[in-house]
Amino acid sequence: MKTLIKIVSYCLIIFQLTDGRKFRGNRADTEPGEKMKMPYKPKSFFRLYTDSIDDTCTVELFKPHTLDACGFNSSHPLAIIIHGWSVDGMMDNWISRLASALKSSEGSINVVIADWLTLAHHHYPIAAQNTRVVGQDIAHLLRWLEDFKHFPLGKVHLIGYSLGAHISGFAGSNLAVSGKTLGRITGLDPAGPLFEGMSHTERLSPEDATFVDAIHTFTQERMGLSVGIKQPVAHFDFYPNGGSFQPGCHLYVQNIYAHLAQYGIMGIEQTVKCAHERAVHLFIDSLVNKDKQIMAYKCSDNTAFDKGYCLDCRKNRCNTLGYDIKKVRTGTSKRLFLKTRSHMPYKLFHYQFRIQFINQTDKIEPTLTVSLTGTLGESENVPITLVEEISGNKTFTFLITLDTDIGDLMIMRFTWEGSPVWANMWSTVKTMLPWAKSSRGPQLTVGKITVKAGETQRKTPFCPQTDEGVYIEPSQEKVFVRCEKKREKPQQKRRMMMKHD
C-alpha cells in the first residue's frame, strides 16, 4: 500500500502538473524598514545537528537559551539543510549524510536542519505552495540570529534540495526586501514542476544571495516528466552528464509501460530518486573527497560538450562543482557541463581529442579506439564514435573521459577496429595474387593529433612513432608519441631576443 501511494504521488508530478497551472503570492511579508513582529510562530522546526539525525537539538525562535543549550557558536558559519517534498513524511537518509559530511569536513560550523515535514507531506501542488511559508520561517530565524546574536548573514549558507532549493530562494528574497543579503545558496536539483519557466521572483534565482550555485541532475523531459528544473537559476548552473540522466540510474527507454514491464512498479520510484537525488550525493562527494574535486566547463549545450569543444578554462569558463566552488559573481548565469562516474567518488578526467584525416578519397565509417599512456599510468581502450563518415580533409574532435589521472601524456595507441574476416581475406588475396602485394586496401591517412587535458589545460601534440605511422589499415594499431619540441638554432634565438628588446 505504501509503495502504491508513492507511485500515485510521482504520477501527480508526471501527469497532473503538466496542465500549466501556476500559483502566485507575495514572496515577502515584511516591508523595507519594518521591524520583525513578535511573536512569530514558525510552522517549521530548526534542529541543530550534533552527531546524528537522532541526536539533534531544537532551536526555538525568540528563545535565546535554546541556542546556548544546543551549542550554537556565533563565531562559526551556519549551514542550513532544507529537504524537499516528502512522500512518506519521513526524513531522507541523505540529510544525515550531508550534515555529517559538513561537520567532518569543515569542523567549526553550525549545521541546522530545517524540518518542514508537516508542510511537505501533502500532494505536490500543496507542498509547492507551502515553500513560501517555509522560506518566510527561515528568513525570520536569520533576522532573529542577526538581531539577538549579531550573526552576519554573509556567513549563512542555505543548501536546499528539490523544493528546498526554491525555499532557499524565498528566504533570500524575504531578507532582500529589508535590505539584507544571504551569503550563499546551493540548489540541489531544484524542483521543476510549477517552477519551470516562472519569473525570477517565483523561484530560486541569482538575486537571492551574494552567490548562488545549482546542480541539475534530472531534467528528463520525456513523457512530460521534468522533476528537476532545466533553466538556469544561479550564477553557476552545473549539468552533470547533461543534467537529464545520470549513469547508474535506470533510463526511461520508450514509455512508462515499457519501463514498468522491465523494472516493475518500483522502477519509477527508484529511477526518480536515483537521478533526482544524485545532486545531493555529488555535493556530499565534494566534501568527503577533497582530493578528488570535480571540474566543470562552460558550454552552450551538452551536444557541443560531448564533441569536446568546451574544455577551455580562461575567463572563469570552468569551476569546481560542490562545496569548494570558486565564488565568482557573474552578470548572467553560466551553464557548466561535466561527466561523472556512476558511483562515489564521481570524478572523471576530461580530455579533448583532435585528429586530422587527410587526402581521404574513399568514404569510410570506421570504428576507432584510442588508449593513452602517461607518466602515472595507462588507460584502457576508449571507443570513438564518428557522427559522420571520413572523407577529404577533415579534423574530428571528441571528448574522452578516464577514471584515473594518468599524468602527463606520453604515448597514444590508435586502432582502426576493422573486421578480422575482411582483414584475413585481403591477406589471402595478396598471397594468391602477386600483383596485389604492393597494393593497399582501405586505409586512413592521419595528419595532426592533439590531446588537451581539461583538468590541467595542457595540450599535447602527437607524432607517428615511425614514418609508416601516418597510414592506418583495418585491424591495425599504430603508436604515436609526444612530439619533441624543435630546438631553435642560436641565430634564430638571438633574432627573437633582439626583436622583443
Active site residue 286: no
Grid cell, residue 434, equals: 602477386
Q: Which residue numbers belong to the known binding site for Ca(2+)?
A: 203, 208
How far apart are alpha carbons 194 and 217 in whole angstroms?
18
Sort 223 into a burial class: Cβ within 10 Å, 0-12 / 13-18 / 19+.
middle
Judge whether 219 and 191 are in contact, CB under 8 Å. no
Strand, coil or helix: 19: helix
**Of the residues 9, 96, 100, 162, which is catalytic?**
162
Active site residue 137: no
Contacting residues for 246 by C-beta, under 8 A, at least 6 apart: 217, 218, 240, 274, 275, 278, 340, 342
**Percent helix, strand and coil across the chain, each rounded to 5?**
35, 25, 40
**Of the residues 189, 213, 237, 306, which is catalytic?**
189
Judge whether 219 and 192 are in contact, CB under 8 Å. yes
**Of the residues 276, 286, 350, 379, which is catalytic?**
276
Element (H, E) at 497: helix 490-500
**Full 3-state SS string of 434-458:** HHHCCCCCCCEEEEEEEEEECCCCC
256-263 vs 266-288: helix axis angle to the nearest 10?
A: 80
How far apart are alpha carbons 275 and 251 in whole angstroms?
10
Q: Hey, how many other C-beta atoms are within 10 angstroms of the C-beta on 38?
A: 9
Q: Which residue numbers belong to the known binding site?
A: 203, 208
How far apart are alpha carbons 111 and 5 in whole angstroms?
32
Active site residue 76: no
Bridge partner residues of 383 (DSSP) = 369
Active-site residue list: 162, 189, 276
